[in-house]
Amino acid sequence: MTDARFHTVWIPLQDRFYRVAYYILEDRADALDAVQDLYLKLWKMRDSLDLVQNPAAYGSMLLKNLCIDRIRRLRPAEPLEDDLPGKPPPDEELIRKEALGSLLRAMDTLPDSQQNLLRLHVLQGKSYDEIAAETGLTPLNIRVQVSLARKKLKRHEKP
């Protein structure tokens, strides 16, 4: 393909190619760069472009692939949500949620004072001394009440 033929066939498609690139990349600068890359690629292969019957379609296909390559280079692959390190598999997470729900329902059967002490100690992680300062009970009394609540919960979970 001669220089003049390249300019008459391919250069007028520049606006169309820009719109395609902008649609894919959603960024003006990236779209302009992608179109420039397309024209560099077309120029390097200009000797074989005489065989192209539909320059607009052929150029759009090449441009689409260049844009996809650009996206892959610019945005590193993110791990799938299920593959994140430290996250349990979905089935284990479901089992854990069901067990927690069962535990919370069983806690509802406890007296209010034991529920409150168990929540403060187990769920909020407060020490017996911290709970004693909040409630006015002695740490020993709190320890006994938490122990009794745990025993009731264990009896509740047995079939």
Residue 81 lies inside a defined structural domain of this protein: no
User: Is residue 82 a part of any domain in this protein?
Assistant: no
pLDDT recorded at residue 143: 92
Counted residue by residue, the chain has a size of 159
* 88 domain residue, yes or no: no
- 95 assigned to some structural domain: no
Would you say residue 106 lies in a domain?
A: yes
Is residue 83 assigned to a domain?
no
Spatial distance between the Cα atoms of 152 and 144, rounded to a whole number of angstroms:
12
Mean of the pLDDT values across residues 69-93?
A: 70
Identify whether residues 8 and 57 lie together within a single domain.
yes
Q: What is the pLDDT of residue 96?
A: 81
Mean pLDDT of the chain: 86
Task: Say if residue 139's pLDDT is above 60.
Answer: yes
What stretch of H or E contains 49?
none
Distance of alpha carbon 49 from alpha carbon 41, whole angstroms: 11
Q: Show the domain range for 121.
A: 102-157
Count of other CB atoms within 10 angstroms of residue 25: 20
The Cα 83–Cα 89 span in angstroms is 8
Query: Would the pLDDT of 116 be above 80?
Result: yes
Does residue 80 register a pLDDT over 60? no
**What CATH number is attached to the domain comprising 40?**
1.10.1740
Q: Are residues 69 and 19 in the same domain?
A: yes
Does pLDDT of 78 surpass 70? no
Token pair in block for residue 23? 């649609």
pTM for the structure as a whole: 0.48
DSSP state of 77: P
* Count of alpha carbons within 13 angstroms of residue 36, beta-carbon side: 7
How many domains in the chain? 2
Could you tell me if residue 89 is inside a domain? no
Domain annotation covers residue 53? yes
